[in-house]
Chain A
């Protein structure tokens, strides 16, 4: 699929970005941003993962099918987590029920 040869320079750039983001996320965790701490940490994680997937794993240069496979993997994980969570978050909404 990836006959495309990614230039070395790009690898180094991605690598630099990943290291930088790691430092940022560690640094940010020591600053109190209220609920945004979690948002920042997770956003950075997602960005890092995306960089790895797209460039180190060559998905950027791959077929639509590969992209679809990757996306569905994460989508299904999302389904599992999200729907399970709806149960826990909506417990006790109905009054008169000791959950």
Chain B
């Protein structure tokens, strides 16, 4: 993604047509997202295996997650996906105002998500649910519950990191958009960052039920 759009409309020398350049960038982004799937995939595998091995412990662990905050965050993230989609839409129509407004909204929603997440983390800290030497869990299989929290922090932490990077990229885009860099003809970077943002949303769409909901009743 860093690749695209250094000299706005300018066609870089290795390409023959603008078309080709855009196709290449988009394909590149998709391939990158596939690597992201596999990157998170390692953690998802760990989750599936340990959940199969220790179902009760995982349920016990997930009981200490705050389902309301999780659900609110899910909604927040879906909203941000919508604003992101609208940002791309605005860019495609060449409406600079809509583009900037939507980008800013997306940044805002992303930050809200992170804020809530930070609050949840603090809560876990306070209750000694952060794995490591200080972990404390009343109950029979504290070691396995600790595994649950290792995976909880691993996945959500990595996800949050992706959000932070995403917000950074969105900020750059908003700034560039303000300076009139994007138009109906040239908006590939917006589209690419949009793909990335939606991907991050999808990761959360899976994390939410896996961590918060399964075995809840």
Contact = CB atoms under 8 A, between A and B. Distances in A.
A–B direct contact (CB < 8 Å): yes
B45 A29 contact: no
B86 A38 contact: no
Given A19-B78, A45-B206, A45-B209, A76 B45 contact: no
B22 interface: yes
Interface stretch (B29-37, B108-116, B123-131, B158-166): B29-37
Interface string A1-41: 11001101001100100110010011001111100011001
A85 B191 contact: no
B9 interface: no
A81 B82 contact: no
B82 A15 contact: yes
Given A69-B34, A73-B38, A77-B41, A25 B213 contact: yes
Contact of A38 (B23, B202, B208, B214): B214
A81 B85 contact: no
A5 B93 contact: yes
A33 B216 CA distance: 11
B52 A89 contact: yes
For chain B, give the interface size range. 35 or more
Contacts of A1: 22-23, 26
Contacts, number: 128
Contact of B48 (A15, A29, A70, A85): A85
A11 B198 contact: no
B53 A88 contact: yes
A15 to B, nearest CB: 4
Contacts of A32: 217
Interface of A is mostly: helix
A66 B217 contact: no
A41 B26 contact: no
Contact of A73 (B34, B86, B214): B34
Interface string B180-217: 00000000000100110011011001101110111111
Contacts of A25: 209, 213
A22 B217 contact: no
A25 B67 CA distance: 11
B208 to A, nearest CB: 8
A80 interface: yes
B202 A81 contact: no
A42 to B, nearest CB: 7
Given A1-B22, A73-B33, A74-B37, 7 more contacts: A5-B89, A5-B92, A6-B85, A37-B215, A53-B198, A81-B41, A89-B52
13 contacts: A5-B93, A8-B86, A15-B78, A15-B82, A22-B78, A30-B216, A45-B208, A49-B206, A56-B198, A57-B198, A57-B199, A66-B27, A77-B44
